[in-house]
Amino acid sequence: MVQTVTRNVDIEAALSEARQAFLARNPKSFAKHTEACAVMPGGNTRSILFTSPFPLAIARGEGCRLWDEDGHDYVDFLGEYTAGIYGHSNPKIRAAVEKALAGGINLGGHTVMEAKLARAICQRFPSVKQVRFTNSGTEANLMALSTACVFTKRKKVMVFEGGYHGGVLYFGGGGIPTNMPFPWVLAQYNDSAGTKALLDRQGGEIAAILVEPMAGAGGCVPADPAFLKMLREEATRHGCLLIFDEVMTSRLSPGGMQQTLGIMPDLTTLGKYIGGGMSFGGFGGREDVMGLYDPRRPDAVPHAGTFNNNVLTMSAGVVGLTELYTPDVAVALNARGDALRERLDAACRKAGLPMQVIGRGSMMCVHFTSAPLRSPVDTAKADQKLKELYYLDMVAAGIWLARRGMMILSIPIGDGECARLAAAFEEFLSARRSLIEAVK
């Protein structure tokens, strides 16, 4: 559990001690990191997984448990950033993959499972009348944006500050150098008046509005239903396509956030868990828009991708979406998440601390501030040093979570695992109370 250290009188001292304890507990992970640094920049090939002072080397997983190279075990409350909804090595997923392997991997033709997965997706998500597959959520969003530009014969794209839509579509701090060079129109999340004013000025030039119904990587900030309804109305008025990035949020109800809200985008992008734990992305929506890719048309737009219909993803995805993450399971998992989040947030309020847990359903995030959180810009202003200390203390307590405070539930997580997280959380509040109270 959390190690209470009474001599820590400030955050820097507490962090220094927690980092030293982390190093002492994990010498084999440190050795693996050192080896990796020789062949990968910073020993890393996926930036979000790097954590200070060094990342743990995860050796294996089973159900909702993980083991690192040093033999420590953790309850997995990261869930591969929403992709790991089935836990580790689910027997049905494994059987589907093994069956696919036995039939040949790279077949170079239409396969029997791709239409089954497409049908399951179209039946599940209300706006998706037709769908095409990609290999990641990033790729799905890129294809959706390019599709909107072709369909509308426009170039500009509206996004929201702090939004994340993939490795080359990140708008924290206004954007990153490796972003794709679309002419971006940057608006503020949940700012209906400001966004509408931007659309009044530039709507006739905008091809697409790309938005998450809940900003996942931005701190699990739900969009106001009125804000999304305004985007729907204004997109229609100005002739642009509304794209819901439901790569993460599609798990929050049987039919995604669009079903819960009753707001239909023109295009929806998907990814993460829908491939059954394999690499997956998809974009779909209106038939007149998706029809651009019908190769029977003389004016068809090409869409390539060697692994778009790979047999492992197609097979695992069908089993996952039709047998494991059924509508009833989706409802139950998200109810469990709501209950856990409310329990954690209530503990913060009871302790009278400037700290809150926000989110929806099976996705949540801890923030060290008492200020209202309505956008990723707001969450970025919360205390980040305390967030690092929270991460280190929770890992020491056997809870695996994101460095940024994000926590995700998977199907194998039950009452016992939620109770263990809540106990570690409450002990953190007690052990670090004086440091949290100092938050401004």
Catalytic residue list: 164, 245, 272
**Cα separation of 112 and 92, whole Å?**
18
Which amino acid is present at 409?
A: L
Residue 364 DSSP SS3 = strand
- Cα 261 to chain centroid distance, Å, stands at 19
User: For residues 132 and 260, what is the distance between their CA atoms, to the nearest angstrom?
Assistant: 23
Phi-psi category of residue 218: left, alpha or beta, with phi > 0 → left and psi -120 to 50 → alpha: alpha
* CA–CA dist 48, 32 (Å, integer): 18
Rounded distance, CA 304 to CA 270, Å? 18
Give the strands of the sheet with 363-367, arranged side by side: 356-360, 363-367, 406-408
Question: Cis omega (within 30 of 0) on the bond before 55?
Answer: no
* For the chain, the helix, strand and coil percentages under 3-state DSSP, each to the nearest 5: 45, 15, 35
Please identify which residue in the block is written with the tokens 């949020």.
Answer: 249
Q: Are 433 and 351 in contact (CB under 8 A)?
A: yes
Residues with Cβ < 8 Å from 203, sequence gap 6 or more? 234, 237, 238, 239, 240
Tell the burial category of 233 from Cβ atoms under 10 Å away from its Cβ (0-12, 13-18, 19+): middle
Q: How far apart are CA 4 and CA 284, in angstroms?
A: 51
Q: Which residues pair with 187 in a beta bridge?
A: 160
| Residue-wise DSSP of 180-222 | ----EEEE-TT-HHHHHHHHHHHGGGEEEEEE-SEETTTTSEE
Match 């790309």 to its residue by tokens.
Answer: 210
Strand partners, 345: none
Q: What is the DSSP string of 148-172?
A: HHHHHT--EEEEETT-B-STT-B-G
What single DSSP character describes residue 125? S
Distances (CA, A) of 221 to 118, 270, 367, 373: 30, 19, 11, 7
Residue pair 265/243 in contact (Cβ under 8 Å)? The answer is yes
